[in-house]
Amino acid sequence: MLRCRFAYSPAFETLAAVRVATGPQPPGHHARWLAEVAPRLKALDLRPLTLLQPRRGYTPDFLAPPPDGPVDSFAADLARIAATPPAQARAEIARSLAETPGAARTATGRLLLGAEPAEVVRLLAELVRAAWEALVEPYWARTRALLEADVAFQAGRLAAGGLDRLFAELHPSVRWHDGVLTREHGGADHRDLAGEGLVLMPSAFKWDQVVIVLDPPWQPTLIYPARGIGTLWQGAPSDAAAALARLIGRTRARLLTGLTEPAATAWLAHHHGLAPATVSEHLTVLRATGLVTATRHRHEVRYRRTPLGDTLATGPTPGRPDAHA
């Protein structure tokens, strides 16, 4: 426990951004970013990186190795990727492709497995560099600020309540009990720290789940969505958004417009950088006024917008009777 530390990684943010930009899942809070990078995305052939990031399964760790220090520059990250031993890279690539039926038989899969491993490492390093320059580097200042703010906030929790409080409140899907840190829906893999410590790494682009790195030679790493992701791409509010904020208040407007899918109080608090009690208070008001509804899902209560809430958050649908009201 004495070796637990925080870090963040430009290379990991790049890999996660590729997944957001090319995957089948909705972009969530990154929709505005995705619209901006779409023209640059068309000029990139990211199929090797996409194939190596299965929706559920193993992504090669060498493509975004856990940082040795609090933060690496992208150049340092890229140098570490390029220096991966070819045999290690090939083993991790083969493991990743095996997670997706038929992936190894595609043209891209045959290239990744059949070409000289050292050449494959160079190819993948170049693709990570191109993705960084097109998708992440233009937005790195604001992304880094979000990650640094999360680290500062978590450090404050650590100072105020120790590791017990830090782990208990790190992310809604993480549980700390009796000396064991558990990720919900994380499978059966486990690793005894045995004095190695743990890297805690906030991420802006891995917004939807917690990721763990357990395999040697890397220090065990837990990557979690950074606190306040819902504020990352906020620009000047539109006339409609500004009017909604004046009507129901800025925080309630943020919660309502950000409630694009059912979510629990803890999840909303984490994504908007708010205290859970504050979110609960505002959700109570939104529910009482008919803008959101609540349903129980296993051990938690999830909130979703009502049709009236959808209309206020997104505007009336063209063609409906209230479209010109």
Give a three-class secondary structure readout of the chain.
Answer: CCCCEECECHHHHHHHHHHHHHCCCCCHHHHHHHHHHHHHHCCCCCHHHHHCCCCCCCCCHHHCCCCCCCECCHHHHHHHHHCCCHHHHHHHHHHHHHCCCCHHHCHHHHHHHHCCHHHHHHHHHHHHHHHHHHHHHHHHHHHHHHHHHHHHHHHHHHHHHHHHHHHHHCCCCEEEECCEEEECCCCCCCCCCCCCCCEEEEECCCCCCCEEECCCCCCCEEEEECCCHHHCCCCCCCHHHHHHHHHHCHHHHHHHHHCCCCEEHHHHHHHHCCCHHHHHHHHHHHHHCCCEEEEEECCEEEEEECHHHHHHHHCCCCCCCCCCC
Tokens 């479209």 -> residue: 323
d(CA 296, CA 303): 9
Tokens of 214: 């357990």
d(CA 104, CA 95): 10
| Beta-sheet pairing, 180-183 with 5-6 | unpaired
271-288 average pLDDT score: 85
- CB 208, CB 225: distance < 8 Å: yes
Angle value at C-alpha 48, between 101 and 21, nearest 5 degrees: 95
pLDDT, position 207 = 83
- pLDDT of 29 reads 82
d(CA 198, CA 67): 12
Residue 74 to residue 315: CA distance in whole angstroms: 41
Q: Are 226 and 247 a contacting pair, CB within 8 Å? A: no
**Is CATH 1.10.10.10 the classification given to domain 236-314?**
yes
Top pLDDT among 45 and 300 is at 45
Distances (CA, A) of 309 to 121, 210, 289, 292: 49, 29, 9, 6
Each residue's pLDDT tens digit, 100-129: 899 999 999 999 999 999 999 999 999 999
All structural domains of the chain with their residue ranges: 5-225, 236-314
Q: Which residue has the tokens 């899902």?
A: 297
Determine the pLDDT at residue 315: 64
Q: Is the pLDDT of residue 17 over 60?
A: yes
Respond yes or no on whether the N-terminal peptide bond of residue 67 is cis (omega within 30° of 0): no
Asked whether the beta carbons of 28 and 207 are under 8 A apart, the reply is: yes
pLDDT of residue 320: 44
| Band (46; pLDDT cuts 50, 70, 90) | very high
pLDDT tens sequence across 166-195 = 888 888 888 888 888 888 876 677 888 878
For residue 258, is pLDDT > 80?
no
Whether pLDDT at 323 is above 50: no
Check: CB of residue 50 under 8 Å from CB of residue 18.
yes
**Is pLDDT above 90 for 89?**
yes
